[in-house]
Amino acid sequence: MVTRLLATKLYREFIKIPVSRRRLVETTQAFEELTSLPNMCGAIDATPIKIRHVPAEANPSAYRCREGFPAVLLQVVADHKKIFWDVCVKAPGGFDDSTHLRESVLYNRLISEDIVWDKVFECEGTGTPAQDQFDEALMKGRKMVEEAIGLLKGRWKILQDMNVGLDHAPQTIVACCVLHNLCQIAREPEPELWKEPEESGPAPKGA
C-alpha cells in the first residue's frame, strides 16, 4: 500500500522533468560550473537491481545482467544535486542500456537541453564526441548520476538484494527513488556510496 502510494501519487510530485525556467537555469548553470559545458540539465545511467528469484516462466536467462546475477534494469536521470528527475524500470537485467533507453518514455521527451550519457547509450543523432578533453568534461557531469545511484543503494539496502516478487520489484524500486529524492531535498546526511560489483556475466542483450 505504501509503496504503491510512493510509486504513483508521490512519484508525480517528486520525480519530474525540470521544465520551469528557474529550475532549468539553476540546473544548467550548476552543470556548466562543473563541466564548462552549456545546456546540460541532467546525467543518465542505468544500474542492475539484484533480485533473488525469477520464475521459470519469466525466462530467467533474460534477467542475468553483465555482473552475473539476476536483476531488473533501473534507468535514472539525475541533476547536480543528485536528485532524480526521471526513473524507468522496464527491462530485464540482461538488456543493454541503450535498448532500455529507446523503450523508455524519456527517449521521446528529450528536448533542447542535453543529457550526459555513457558511451553504452548509443542514440541516433546524438553521442559523445571523440575528443579526450570533451569526454573528460562529460564524465564530470556523469559523476552526479553515478553518485546518486550509489546513494540510492546505500540508503535502501533492499535494492542491494531484493527479496520481493518479480511483479512487485519495479514498484518497490520506484518507491525507493522517491524516498531518495525526499532525502536529498531535505538535505539529509548522505550514507556511504554503494560500490557496484565487477562485471562477470555475459554481454547484455539488445532488443
pLDDT tens-digit readout, 100-113: 677 777 776 664 44
The CA distances from residue 8 to 35, 95, 178, in Å, are: 34, 25, 10
From residue 172, how far is each of 1, 6, 11 by CA, in Å?
Answer: 11, 9, 12
Instruction: Tell whether 107 is covered by a domain.
Output: yes
- pLDDT band per the 50, 70, 90 thresholds, residue 162: very high
19-54 in b/e form (b: 16+ CB < 10 A) is eeeeebebbbebbeeebebeebbbbbbbbbbbbeeb
Q: For residues 157 and 205, which has the higher predicted lDDT (pLDDT)?
A: 157
Instruction: Give dist(CA 153, CA 155) in Å, integer.
Output: 5
Given CA atoms 121, 127, 131, 134 in this order, what sign does their dihedral have? negative
The answer to whether residue 193 is domain-embedded is no
What is residue 123's predicted lDDT score, i.e. its pLDDT? 46
**What's the pLDDT band for 32 if we cut at 50, 70, 90?**
very high
Domain count along the chain: 1
User: pLDDT per residue over 57-87, tens digit each?
Assistant: 999 999 999 889 999 999 999 999 999 999 9
Q: What is the pLDDT of residue 28?
A: 92
Range of the domain at 49: 2-185
In a domain, 88, yes or no: yes
User: Taking the model in full, what pTM does it have?
Assistant: 0.82
168 found inside a domain: yes
pLDDT given at position 206: 54
Instruction: Give yes or no for residue 161 having a pLDDT over 80.
Output: yes
